[in-house]
Amino acid sequence: GQQVMQIPQYQHVQEGEDFTTYCNSSTTLSNIQWYKQRPGGHPVFLIQLVKSGEVKKQKRLTFQFGEAKKNSSLHITATQTTDVGTYFCAGQSYNTDKLIFGTGTRLQVFP
Amino acid sequence: NAGVTQTPKFQVLKTGQSMTLQCAQDMNHEYMSWYRQDPGMGLRLIHYSVGAGITDQGEVPNGYNVSRSTTEDFPLRLLSAAPSQTSVYFCASSYWGGSLDTQYFGPGTRLTVL
């Protein structure tokens, strides 16, 4: 079945440093979504990517969808303490109606 | 709009007991799903539904039943609770047009099975 892996599992950074998490799917995706979950909270939608090679930006966050539509990345520039949380990618394969989540990357930012 | 609501927020069960986790949404979303979250394993899909009267299995369906009699409600039933079902359970809903859209998550139910 479809599998979605994320690396790294954990990342600790000093405030102001950059952060990147990578997402890899075992199958080609029709679209990929990214979510953020604060400690003790529920996942909150950040963005959706649909096109091969697509790049989208939200302030300090940059999202990329790979050319083969099997991988994606989230890059945060100059992290802040408010960026703390777990970041998940979630992908839908072609011809399925399931959204499979990645294993997540937990980000800790030290002031 | 209340969005996606889940009850209860916390529950402790003994092994072998059964219970139903409730999920409701008021956004008229066709698509609803249940995930469980365990440390280091992300969110795993249990069951999902693309509309009233239609349900299907996700990645980890064993030990759980669902039904979708209305658009608004999507309860998850644990038939005979086991310690391995100790987890945080999230319900989510979204618009469904053949391609999945933004998932709106409920606040979660923390379940402990002793």
How confident is the model over A32-53, as pLDDT tens digits?
999 999 999 999 999 999 999 9
Residues of B in contact with A48 (CB under 8 A): 101-102
3-state SS assignment for residue B84: helix
In angstroms, the CA B8 to CA A111 distance is: 36
pLDDT of B40 higher than 90: no
- Residue A30: what residue type? S
The residues with which B35 forms a beta bridge, in sequence order, are B45, B90
Going by pLDDT thresholds of 50, 70 and 90, the confidence category of residue B2 is confident
In angstroms, the CA B1 to CA A92 distance is: 27
Tokens of B44: 């795993």
Strand runs labelled E in chain A? 4-7, 10-14, 19-25, 29-37, 44-49, 55-58, 61-65, 71-76, 85-93, 100-101, 105-110
- Average pLDDT over every residue of B73-102: 93
| Contact with chain B for residue A93, Cβ under 8 A | no
Q: B12-27 pLDDT, tens per residue?
A: 999 999 999 999 999 9
Name the B residues in 59-98 with CB < 8 Å from any A CB.
59, 90, 92, 96
